[in-house]
Structure 1
Amino acid sequence: MSKHTILCVDDEIDNVEALERLFRKKYTVLKATSGKQALEVLDQHRGPLALIITDQRMPEMTGVEFLEKTLESYPETIRILLTGYTDLESIITAVNKGQIFRYLTKPWDPVDLSNTVDHAVERFELGQQLKTRNSELAKALEELKSLDVAKSNFMILINHELKTPLTSILSFSALLSESSLADEDKLMVNRISRSADRLKSLVDDVLLIVRAETNQLKIDVQNVAFSEFDELPKEVVNLLNQKQLKVTNDISPSGVMADVRLVKQVMQRLIHNAAKFGQENSAIEVKVIADGKVARFAVSNKGPHLSTRVIDKIMKPFYIDEDVMHHSTGTGLGLTICQAILKAHSSQLQFDNTDQGVTVFFELPLANP
């Protein structure tokens, strides 16, 4: 590790040499016998300067005047003033104009001076580290700003460059399905339609997440009382039937402040998630119960408990708790979308392992608590 550089200034050459002998083992020492000469030394110096030690009473230029001239070129350098005078006015001037770290009276105590210099250099090191960290933070901030711009551009790309041709595919496949086609042709058109629907669903999901992450998700908050969540997507109904799962509702019609459409989407996704991981021939319980100033929306399924590690994983985008190489379905965005919607409502998903399985819930403020 290279030595830090310090500058010693005193119009008495013996004092300068004494300072050099005291510090040359630990530091690279620059010397000057006047303020003018010290400025010339600094003009020739390249690289950081950790510390300046200067006498106050010098001909032509006082120590404070010299230190004041170094502030612009070396703003981060620590400054120590040596003086044989202790009048209050000189000290105040030194602090205000020279920005000194400490002043010491002559004759100095070598131990005290050494300790003071070590502390001053440590302070300089901390300042350099802080400067580096600030620079790194500034760079990270710029990268985040660039990322936000990229997200916005991505939204534009999805909205136009992907959704426009996708709309054409869906429209023409719908027209084809109404035409007189051979059985094999109908099969191919149906597969095109299903794939296009899956792609549209993925595009819409990703777009919702990006909107939420860029604080562009618009919510229409109203006073609403939910009474049921039976309008489930076809794929959820099919999964419930396949696993012979029954959905039971225990809904207290309490008015909450929320976006009806988005909250219904959250509940549909939570029911879908419960159906995927719930035990066959069991029940999925949907509850909305007023509790104090909030209403708790909960979906419970019978099945294995979730560890903290698994919860962390399934909350990450694109995590699929299945073997992707064995034709797993889904994109792993369901809970991420729920969390994004709830974040816009100042809420969040929470998990609770119960005696029989797992409950996922969130809370919304009551309209009239």
Structure 2
Amino acid sequence: MEPILIVDDEKDNLEALRRLLRNDYDVTLETSPFEALKRVQQQEFSVIVSDQRMPEMTGVELLEKVKQISPATTRILLTGYSDMDAVVGAINRGQIYQYVGKPWDPDDFKITLRQAAESYQLKREVEQKNRALSKSNEELKAALESLRVLDRAKARFLSLVSHELNTPLTVLTSFVQLLKDNKSSFPKDIQKAVSSLDSATGRFSQIIEEVLLYTKLESERSLSTEAFDLDEETRALAKELAKEFNAKKLSVALKAPSPAIIHCDREKMRQALERLFLNTIAFAPEGDKVRIHIEDKGKFYSFSISRGGPPLSEEAFVSLTSGSQNNLHHHKDLGLSLAICRFIVEIHGGTTELSDSGTAIILKLSKT
């Protein structure tokens, strides 16, 4: 049973209330307000009922002190109509939950007391849930900070490894170049091996470059915004990557409004488009036509780049754009190209999508 405390200097009133409530509550009686305060310090009560007129202390004064000791306890005042000014003042100050006028009706009083006890339980439940929520928030903050620490450690590790690999790669590249310069003097099988070695070192160099770029992007998310003409920059990139396109005998068809202005970090957006181009070149079959279509969609531009060849599955697309290469051994190894592209597009508020056909990648780029 819920514990309640009743305070009244008249014992007859206390006994009457005990008889009324003893079957429903654990009732404690006190005739002295000072003794009642001692009780409150020793035990928490769901409800405290106090008479207003007592010789040692008024009920309002007692309940004000009770609130300081046990704020959650619901407080009820018993009073006659002549004390209404004090009652209204106490209610306005939030010292009492409700007052009951004398003479009180037994049924009405029991209803009031039940509501007061329920109010106490509700406050306690809210407090418990708030504490649990606060604890969960602290645990979440701690977990998030741990993830940030691990992420920074991962970035430092990848950067260190990539830098360390650059030194032997530079030496290897120099030797490969030396072999290429004298390739014509070698037998055909050696010439073929030199070409394969050249291709492998180039791929290795690209992977290191992408790892360094990806870790840099993750750690430095600041953007410097300026006007960027998608039509002009796309044409310029296509010329810069002419060697890569020509190596696979790829042609490029561009359809775009001119100008097609967005506002973005120019260097980062060029990196995103370059990675997207390299991805398309890797997947396109030899002799294919790469189609680029830029459309004005009002608040954003749709940048679509498509090619022929086998479609990319949604699963593979998600893995490639997240930087994960799991279960992609049957696809061309594209390193972090699409992951870098998606990351840059997203920090600009855009999206990266795969077309229904699986042969086109679509960037939605905000104009602002």
Structure 1 residues 229-244: aligned runs within 5 Å: 229-230=237-238, 237=245, 241=248
The answer to whether the Cα contact below 8 Å between 1:67 and 1:98 also exists between their aligned partners in 2 is: no
Unpaired segments ≥5 residues, structure 1: none
Matching residue of 1:8? 5
**Aligned pair in 2 of structure 1 residues 315, 127: CA closer, same or farther (>3 Å)?**
farther
Which residue is 1:124 aligned to? 124
Of 253, 256, 281, the match for 1:251: 256
Give, in whole Å, the separation in 2 of the partners of 1:276 and 1:22. Answer: 83
Decide which structure has the larger Cα Rg and report it.
2
Alignment partner for residue 261 of structure 1, among 259, 267, 271? 267
Instruction: Supply the distance in 2 between the matched residues of 1:65 and 1:268 (Cα, whole angstroms).
Output: 77
Work out which of the residue numbers 210, 216, 220 in structure 2 matches 1:207.
Answer: 216
Shift of residue 157 of structure 1?
4.9
Given the superposition, is the C-alpha separation of residues 89 and 289 from structure 1 closer, same or farther in structure 2, using an over 3 Å criterion?
same
Code of the residue aligned with 1:139 in structure 2: it is E
Q: Distance in 1 between matches of 2:33 and 2:227?
A: 75
Query: Equivalents in 1 of 2:312, 2:174: separation in Å?
Result: 47
Change (3 A) 1:290 1:197: closer
Match status 1:84 vs 2:79: yes
Alignment of 1:331-342 (within 5 A): 333-342=336-345
Q: Tell me which residue corresponds to 2:34.
A: 36
Q: Deviations over 1:29-84 (max 9, x none)?
A: 46241443343334334xxx573332142443444434433445544x14231322
The one of 65, 69, 83 aligned to 1:69:
65
How far, CA to CA, are the matches of 2:166 and 2:28 in structure 1?
78
Q: Provide the residue aligned with 1:136 in structure 2.
A: 136
Match of 1:222 in 2: 226
Q: In 2, Cα distance between the equivalents of 1:148 and 1:14? A: 65
* SS across alignment from 1:295: strand
1:294/1:363 contact within 8 Å kept: yes
Alignment partner of 1:353: what SS?
Answer: coil
| Distance in 2 (alpha carbons) for counterparts of 1:224 and 1:176 | 40
SS at match of 1:139: helix
One-letter identity of the residue aligned with 1:165: E
Asked if the contact 2:321–2:342 (Cα under 8 Å) also holds between the matched residues in 1, the reply is: no
**Would you say the 8 A contact 1:339–1:348 is kept in 2?**
yes
Structure 2 equivalent of residue 173 of structure 1: 172
Displacement of 1:155? 4.3
Please state how far the C-alpha of 1:189 moved relative to its aligned partner: 9.5
AA partner of residue 18 (structure 2) = E
Instruction: Give me the whole-angstrom Cα distance separating, in 1, the residues matched to 2:317 and 2:70.
Output: 49
Q: CA deviation at 1:134?
A: 2.8
Compared CA separation, residues 91 and 260, structure 1 to 2 (3 A): same
Deviation at 1:362, TM superposition (A): 0.9
Q: Which has the higher helix share?
A: 2
Q: Which of 114-123 and 250-259 deviates more?
A: 114-123
Q: How big is the alpha-carbon RMSD for the aligned residues of Structure 1 and Structure 2?
A: 4.4
Alpha-carbon distance in 1 for matches of 2:123, 2:130 = 10
Go from structure 1 to structure 2 and tell me whether the alpha carbon gap of 1:325 and 1:223 turns closer, same or farther (over 3 Å shift).
closer
Listed as ranges, the matches of 1:290-305 within 5 Å are: 290-292=296-298, 294-301=300-307
TM-score, normalised by the number of residues in structure 1: 0.70
Give the Cα–Cα distance (whole angstroms) in 2 for the partners of residues 146 and 293 of structure 1. Answer: 38
Q: Give 1:133 shift.
A: 1.4
**Counterpart selection for 1:346 from 349, 354, 365:** 349
Report the CA distance between 1:137 and its aligned residue: 1.9
Deviations 1:179-216 (A, max 9, x none): 689979988898677546424422432432x23xxxx3
Q: Deviations over 1:17-37 (max 9, x none)?
A: 34752533xxxx462414433
User: What code does the residue aligned with 2:304 have?
Assistant: A
TM-score, normalization: structure 2? 0.70
Change beyond 3 A, Cα 1:54–1:300: farther
Q: 1:315: how far off?
A: 8.1
Which sections of structure 2, spanning at least 5 residues, go unmatched? Answer: none
Is the 1:80–1:104 contact (alpha carbons within 8 Å) kept by the matching residues of 2?
Answer: no
1:113 to 1:153, Cα distance in 2 relative to 1, 3 A: same
The amino acid across from 1:353 in the alignment is D
